[in-house]
Structure 1
Amino acid sequence: MSGVNDGDLLEKMLADSGALLEGHFLLSSGLHSCNYLQCALLLRFPHYAAYVGERLANLIRPSAPDIIASPALGGIIIGHEVARALDVPFIFCEREEGKMRLRRFPAPEGMRFAVIEDVVTTGGSIKEVGEALESLGGKWVASGCIVDRSTENTGLKGELFSLAKKVFPVYKPEECPLCKKGLPLVKPGSKKQRI
């Protein structure tokens, strides 16, 4: 697509894939929002996944990670695409008894790693993965995501690399104007649930 910059192309991909949703959503942080990014809808198209993976890999490359890690489930596709573009191994952590743990892969002892997620709002999942792998002897050198929705310091080590920054309004449940209007609250993700 000549003449189209990366930011505009990503916006078009998000729109064309239906990844940008509007409504009344319960975020994993417990906050409410009128917008939600369902990057799984973007990443279901292999050519979109390859494109964003290569762009994110270019941002991460100077940090020279030996391995890429992601939280399951949302970060698996983009993490794998970044690892593919960098030609390094990929691992993921999964939630077990409420904590992110490395279950299926050898510990990254002595290895430099980057944690990759699809969307960051609070940075909680990336932080959990990074801390879990550090506790196993890895060195956390970078973090990245397709879209950074954070509005304040996420507490991550170093810079958070992203392809786009989007700030949508978020509300505490007791202050949510969408609740006051009586709009149905939806918990998005793999199974959309009305609350």
Structure 2
Amino acid sequence: MSNIDPQDASPSDSVDALAADIDACCRLHGEFTLRSGQVASEYFDKYLFESDPALLARVVDRMVDLLPPDTQLLGGLEMGGIPIVAVLSARTGLPALFVRKKAKEYGTCKLAEGPEVAGRRITIIEDVITTGGAVRDATRGLRERGATVGTVVCAIDRSPAGENPLADVDLEVRPVFTRAQLDAARAG
């Protein structure tokens, strides 16, 4: 857990200092089996910064200025985007949506819990993007329901430098940090 009080988080917080703190909190060393089945000696556990109120507040402070001014709803993706969107919604006053990986098959059968999405401009909120698969699926689902989705704001973009993994769905990616920034924080 960080030693910074969430009340002390501010937009003037150094990007480099925040990157270093996130890297120190989330980069684990040991033996880890990855989703691919490969074994790695290093693992980045994003949930460690999301569960730390001080780090989460500092990341959200950085996200506020990345939101398009015409945003009407913030769409947090299950599961990692949910804590971020809840804090971001409270900070900005914009309503939050909680976007499922797939629509419920019972009750309201909704893909996104919260306000109606049809005719609204939604900014997707995600924790980490590598290939963008979950964001791509959510964007298509929200658009099918009449929403306008043009931007995703994420805490960390781990896709290859200079590439937009969501260009195929015409989505702008606005990260707080890139993989290179976190790697530089580790090296520094």
User: How far is 1:98 from its partner?
Assistant: 10
2:165 — aligned with what?
154
2:70 — aligned with what?
64
Q: Give RMSD over aligned pairs.
A: 2.9
Distance of 1:98 and 1:121 partners within structure 2: 26
Instruction: Name stretches of at least 5 consecutive residues in structure 2 with no aligned partner.
Output: 1-7, 183-188
Contact residue 101 and residue 138 of structure 2 kept, 8 A: no
Distance of 1:163 and 1:112 partners within structure 2: 21
With a CA cutoff of 8 Å and minimum separation of 6, indicate the structure with the bigger relative contact order.
1
Change in CA separation of 1:166 and 1:130 when aligned onto 2, cut-off 3 Å: same
After TM superposition, list the pairs within 5 Å mapping 1:11-26 onto structure 2. 11-15=20-24, 18-22=25-29, 23-26=31-34
User: How far is 1:13 from its partner?
Assistant: 3.4
Q: 1:127 aligns with which of 136, 156, 173?
A: 136
TM superposition score normalised by structure 1: 0.71
Aligned residues: 162
Change in CA separation of 1:93 and 1:31 when aligned onto 2, cut-off 3 Å: farther
TM superposition score normalised by structure 2: 0.73
Residue 150 of structure 1: SS of its match in structure 2? Answer: coil
After TM superposition, list the pairs within 5 Å mapping 1:130-141 onto structure 2. 130-141=139-150
After TM superposition, list the pairs within 5 Å mapping 1:109-124 onto structure 2. 109-124=118-133
**Segments of 4+ moved more than 4 angstroms:** 1-4, 31-34
* Identity percentage of aligned residues: 25
Query: Does 2:110 match 1:104?
Result: no
2:176 — aligned with what?
163
AA of the residue aligned to 1:66: Q
User: How far is 1:144 from its partner?
Assistant: 1.4
Contact residue 66 and residue 174 of structure 2 kept, 8 A: yes
User: How far is 1:26 from its partner?
Assistant: 1.5
